[in-house]
Amino acid sequence: MRIISIIYDQIIDTFSKELKLSGLSQNSIKFYKSDISSFVYWYKLELRKTGILADSFKELLPFLKSSVPDDYKGSLISKDVPLVSINRKLSALRKFSGFLYSKELLSFDFAKNLQNISANTHKKRVNFNAVIDEFKKHLEETKASKNTVKNYLADIHHFLNWIDLHHAAA
């Protein structure tokens, strides 16, 4: 993976300029920048959970893989983020991923296959969240370790993401 030594602010500035040239409004660009910032913050926290301390954006790049966007989407759904906001965030991430690839900051477009979610899928996932919360309480009541609870919940979310992808492809 080829990583050019450019700081995050410069990358975002260049990305913003390209968005403006493509005809996006200043308001949309503001939201895209905020959405990308939220993704980067989320991913830093996710990497820390695995013991990887990546403080700069440049340090995050080698760890990006094609499963990360779907994990992010699952995280947004599990937090009951409104459907319109989720799909806007996913759109911003797809554009940013394509931008990083086009500028050769990444050797692949990591979010190329990321799909928006439908209202029906979102409603089903929100309903699952109540069941998942009950399962989490059950695990805690049975004195399961924090790692066990975290791993079980992550497995459930990965499975639900897989179902979403499989259903979308069918």
Above 70 in pLDDT, residue 167? no
95-140 pLDDT, tens digit per residue, is 999 999 999 989 999 999 888 887 766 566 666 777 888 888 999 9
Q: What residues contact 31, with CB distance under 8 A and at least 6 apart?
A: 88, 92
**Cα–Cα distance for residue pair 170/151, rounded to 1 Å:** 28
Structure-token pair, residue 22: 């493509």
- Give the H or E element holding residue 114: none
Domains, in order of start, for the chain: 8-169 (1.10.150.130)
**Cα–Cα distance for residue pair 87/76, rounded to 1 Å:** 10
**Cα–Cα distance for residue pair 82/97, rounded to 1 Å:** 22
Q: What is the pLDDT of residue 2?
A: 38
Mean pLDDT of 14-34: 95
37-94 pLDDT, tens digit per residue, is 999 999 999 999 888 988 888 888 889 988 899 889 888 887 878 889 999 999 999 9
Please return the burial class of 43, using the count of CB atoms within 10 Å of its CB with bins 0-12, 13-18 and 19+: buried
**Cα–Cα distance for residue pair 161/170, rounded to 1 Å:** 14
In this prediction, residue 1 has a pLDDT band, given cuts at 50, 70 and 90, of very low
Q: What is the pLDDT of residue 37?
A: 92
Q: What is the pLDDT of residue 69?
A: 92
